[in-house]
Structure 1
Amino acid sequence: MGVPDPFLRLWTPHRMAYIAGENKPTSTSSGDDCPFCRIPSLPDADGLIVHRGPAAYAVLNLYPYNPGHLMVVPYRHVADYTDLTPEEVSDVASLTQQAMQAVRIASAAHGFNIGMNQGEIAGAGIAAHLHQHVVPRWGGDTNFMPVVAQTKVLPQLLTDTRALLSKSWPTP
């Protein structure tokens, strides 16, 4: 519609679910409304779980910044890092290390952004259930697409990425 221009379009309609807040919990309580509480009850492939630990699990981000973008999530519905038990802190840290190793094995990541946003004001999409992001980075991965078009190009389906990373997960 409108006057044609010389730009090509890369449509990413799957991102509308994220933009519209689809599947975002409406309450801060645990249970079926919280996707991070619901995911562990699903088979690993359906929930995109890459690995399960004793107190936390590693899951692919449904709306990844880069291919292989994982999150490490405690099973317990807790919002603040200071409220984690020592066992949960240990498992989140251990799974983060293992996630980095798996991504390096699977796709030779050059670096990582690792972190968590604490609270909505800090940018947490689901602030009620703590989750740590593990975002792989490669030299040159910030190209014109995200800068100019605000679009990321992901070369692999999430189910294929989950299978690859699960197979590459190191044994502690």
Structure 2
Amino acid sequence: MENLGSLDNQISEIKQDLVSEFEKQEFKDLMTVSKDDQFDYKQLIKFKKVSGLYLFEIKNKENQDFDMWLSQFRPKWEGLDIMNTPSLKQIRILKHKNTSPTWIPLYIGKSNNLFDRIKGHFVLRSNQRTVGLKLNERVNLKDEIIKISIIKLECTNYSIIAPIAESTLRNRLNPIVGRQ
């Protein structure tokens, strides 16, 4: 166990290198979905068994001040009885005050299978126990436009790297809903 301190220091250095790397990473736009359109999950088939991070953003169609936009969005998000779904996070909402973004970060996640997880955020039913956005159940968001972007994580140590990447990007982008 005398090497433990040395290994711990090496891990700390590697973790800091990963944080630095993911602070610079950008998501690659994958698709835009209008709730009026039927979500075509077939566009995602090529991401079956692909590991990575995903970002859902919602369009601020009228380029409103964030506070005004949020005052209209909040009752839509919270107004339905949907179990096991991420909630609005006030601490991250505050990071968007006094802004007027075109795209508002909604949710960041990670998965070993981007296809299944992204599809799940649309098709999960309101009463299912699996946590998800359950977007098809949110009929009051039918006029919204959702953009999905990804970062592939092609690595052997996914279980170590993905949580660091997700946390770093969450802290940078401040998605307004989440479990954490």
Of the two structures, which has the highest relative contact order with CA contacts closer than 8 Å and spacing of 6 or more?
2
Q: Same fold (TM over 0.5)?
A: no
Range of TM-score over shorter length: under 0.3
Kindly indicate which of the two structures has a greater share of residues assigned to strand.
2
Kindly indicate which of the two structures has a greater share of residues assigned to helix.
2
TM-score by length of 2: 0.23
